[in-house]
Each structure stands twice: as C-alpha cells, then as structure tokens.
Amino acid sequence: MKRTTAHLADGREIIYFDHDTAPAREQHDPRKLDPVSTASQMRHDPVLDEWVILAAHRQSRTYHPPANSCPLCPSTPDRHTEIPSPDYDVVVFENRFPSLSTHAVGGAGPDLPPLVTQRPGVGRCEVVCFTSDHDAAFATLKPEHARLVVDTWADRTSALAAVPGVEQVFPFENRGEAIGVTLGHPHGQIYAYPFVTPKSRQMLGNAARFADRTGRNLFTDLLAGERDSGIRVVATTTHWTAFVPAAARWPVEVHVYPHRRVPDIPSLTGEERDDFAVLYLDVLRRLDGLYAQPLPYVAAWHQAPVSDPLREHAYLHLQVSSIQRAEDKLKYLAGSETGMGAFITDVLPEDVASRLRAVVV
C-alpha cells in the first residue's frame, strides 16, 4: 500500500491510500476556501449520563449535489473538488463540516442549568472515499480493493487513537438516501470521539458483568452459540462468520465477527483482512439482492475504546443495519423506540437469515 499525505487549501489533511502500482497523486489544492468552523461543542446530559455534540455549522453542508458537481469525485482541469488528484484508489480527508475538530473552541454559550456541563467538541471527523468511481458501491469493489479499504481503516484507527484526548475511533458507512446520505459517491466516515459512546459503554459494561459471573467473554460465547445453531448464519469463511442476531432490532441486521477475538481493525492479520473482504462483499451483495433496489444501510464497526478499562472485554465486529422492512416500506422509529428505546420489529431474524442465504450472488 502506498500512502501519500498532503493538505487542502484550508489546511485540512488529505491522505491517499493506493495500490503499489498507482501513479503519484496531485498534492496541490488551488481552491480559495473559507476557514473550517471550530464552533463544535458538547453538552453533558446528566439524566442519561451522555454527551451530546452540537455542531450548528453543519446545517450549511453540501446537500444532494448533482453527479457532475460531486465534491468527492476526482478533480478535472475544469472543476476542482475535495480531491485535487485526477484519480485515486482510496482517499481520506478531514471533513469540511466536522461534528468534532481538533481545533474546536465552542462551548461558551448561554447560561445552562448547574447540572449540565459543556466543553469544546474536540475530536476529529474524516471522510473515506472508497473509490473514485462515482457510480460504484462498496458491494461492487473487487476483493483486492476492498482489502485496501480495510488497510485504510486500520491505518486511520491507529493514527486517530494516538491523538491526545481521543477515546474511541468509529469507522462507519451510511448508504442510501433513505438513511439520510446527502452525497451519492461511495464513501464512509470515521469519527474520533473524546468519550466512549453510549452504546459501547452499555455493551462493554454488560460484557464486564458477564465476565465477573462466568469468567468468559460475552461476545465469544454469543458467536459460538450462533455458529453452533447455524439457523441465523448468513455466510461463513475460514476466519469470519456473518449472522443475523437472534434479538435483531432492525428489519435487516447482520453482524460480522472474526473467529479470533481482537480489539480493533489494526489487530487483524493479513489473512483475516483478505478473508473479511471476501465475506463482506458476499454479504453486501446478498443485502442488495433482497429487493429490486439497493438496500439502504448503516455499517458500523465496533472497536475497543482507546484507554478505558472496559477495553479488555471488547471483541471487534461489524454491524450492518437497514430500515427497509419490505420492498416499499421503511421502519420508522416511532413511540416505543423513540420514547422508550424499546424496539419492536416486524420480521423474524430467522426469516431474514433464510432469505439472505437464498440470494444468488
């Protein structure tokens, strides 16, 4: 893998990740850009014991531009984009409209209740462009290119985990307008949070209590149970298993686990990364085969916190979830889900797994 670092016109970092045979990439950005906002702030909710990120400047971010104005496509002599080079394999750059920023100074605002604390939204948000092909999708990548994306996630996880104050690194992909995606180019993001996220705290807290009771790892036993049953397994390879969890919350939900417990993507071996690329492409193509149109989804990597003691209980895995509950119906978070956090699903996980296995890829 070739790695080339440069800076955009407003000072943001951009990093090209290329196959070894790729040519040199353009590093000069000729655009005139306004400074990136540093107004992000965080407020702590004492009732839920959770941090909420406030980033009002994101209201003006790019919203559904036409394909010929896509900011994630390579630059041309007539149009300069976020990527100065006329081509690329995989590229990462700091978000122009970040929810979190290493330069954040927000936090001085109106009077707040004594129990509510606030501080600058210090962290980092990066955009990961999976390919220069605007009309592609992760599911259409070749295995060797998907492996390059995995190596990119690993590189950025290690780099961002070393940034002072970062407590969790979260690579993810939002795919499809129904999910809320505002740029159609195949891409994902990486958030480097200055706290351990609520979902991770809950999962790892449960794993810690399970370990206290049994001396075993919760995720290891969960994976073993799904593999032994097989009824919800969608696909498996030498190093990975993809399955629909027995208590799936979303209409379509697939979890992808390595057979060896590791805390994060950088800990995967080369063979495990190759094997993941093959399995993940298989899973994504099955998901797209469910209906007559590509499936909207969120793909979320669950990695161990950077320094929190709960890190010892973590087990790297990927969760792919979709709100598409039928060919022409979406799952909306209504009263029970939004008000109480109690999910009600209209489909059985076993049926979803059976349908996914039946898709011809």
Superfamily grouping for domain 199-358: HIT-like (3.30.428.10)
What span, in angstroms and rounded, lies between the C-alpha atoms of 280 and 217? Answer: 24
Residues in the chain: 361
What span, in angstroms and rounded, lies between the C-alpha atoms of 67 and 31? Answer: 20
Helices (H), 230-289: 270-288
Residues of the chain predicted below pLDDT 50: none
What span, in angstroms and rounded, lies between the C-alpha atoms of 235 and 275? Answer: 12
pLDDT given at position 311: 97
Q: What is the pLDDT of residues 223-279, one digit of tens each?
A: 999 999 999 999 999 999 999 999 999 999 999 999 999 999 999 999 999 999 999
What span, in angstroms and rounded, lies between the C-alpha atoms of 356 and 283? Answer: 8
Q: Residue 110 phi/psi, 5° resolution?
A: -65, 165
Q: Which of 64, 103, 134, 187 is catalytic?
A: 187
Q: Would strands 240-243 and 252-258 be described as parallel, antiparallel, or unpaired?
A: antiparallel
Tell me if 192 sits within 8 A of 169, measured CB to CB: yes
Following CA atoms 116, 126, 158, 122 in sequence, which dihedral angle do they give, to the nearest 10 degrees?
A: -30
Q: Which residues contact 211 (CB under 8 A, 6 or more apart)?
A: 217, 218, 313
pLDDT given at position 60: 85
pLDDT given at position 58: 94
Place of tokens 């049926």: 351
pLDDT given at position 99: 97
Fold of 2-195: HIT family, subunit A (3.30.428)
Q: Would strands 252-258 and 317-322 be described as parallel, antiparallel, or unpaired?
A: antiparallel
**187 catalytic, yes or no?**
yes
Do 199-358 and 2-195 fall under one CATH topology? yes
pTM above 0.95, yes or no: yes
- Could you tell me the residue ranges of all domains in the chain? 2-195, 199-358
Q: Which residues contact 47 (CB under 8 A, 6 or more apart)?
A: none
Amino acid (1-letter code) at residue 159: A
pLDDT given at position 106: 83
